[in-house]
Amino acid sequence: METPSKHLPAEERRAATVEAVITLAGAQNPSEITTAAIAKHMNVTQGALFRHFPSKDAIWQSVMDWVASKLLARIDRAALGIDSPLAALEAMFMTHIEFVAEHPGVPRMMFGELQRAESTPAKRMASNLLLRYGERLSRLINFGQACGEIDAGVDTGAAATLFIGTIQGLIMQSMLAGDMARMRADAPGVFAIYRRGIGSSL
């Protein structure tokens, strides 16, 4: 008797494929994940997989699309309704850390795509995610400067880059330590230093 997973509608099958890739990426090098491994994890044939995706690159593109939409939506919700720009930045920072802790395969995929020499749809989507994220941060930092919470002399672009880079640093250290939960413990203290660096002294 076939398992229920073999009868999912197309949209659910694509979502299940993305979930499978992220799960596998949390346990191994994403570049070594084959379509055979994905199909095995999902308990389907490779043929069934390719009925929904024309290629492995198309699967990776769907994964990056999922990451972008989910991460940006979560940080947007985290900052919603918070009047203080610095408090909103902190909420976004902690939400991003929590997102990665819940999905450890995501940074592996992101780092892997951004390191590829060739331009692929997934790599372009990863780059676009960083651009859109940076734009959100820049708007919030500019608002913080306008209302006096953030030092007027702070370079907006540099502050946005440092925000993302700080999160990436925490992720990298947690990956090297083999303990993704370490990010949760380290994040508050690290953000406090970032906050002091850009906050207004007035």
Question: Tell me: the pLDDT tens digits for 22-45?
Answer: 999 988 888 888 999 999 999 988
pLDDT at residue 202, rounded to an integer? 58
Query: Are 172 and 108 within 8 A, CB to CB?
Result: no
* All domains of the chain in start order, with CATH: 1-53 (1.10.10), 57-198 (1.10.357.10)
pLDDT-derived band at 57 (thresholds 50, 70, 90) equals confident
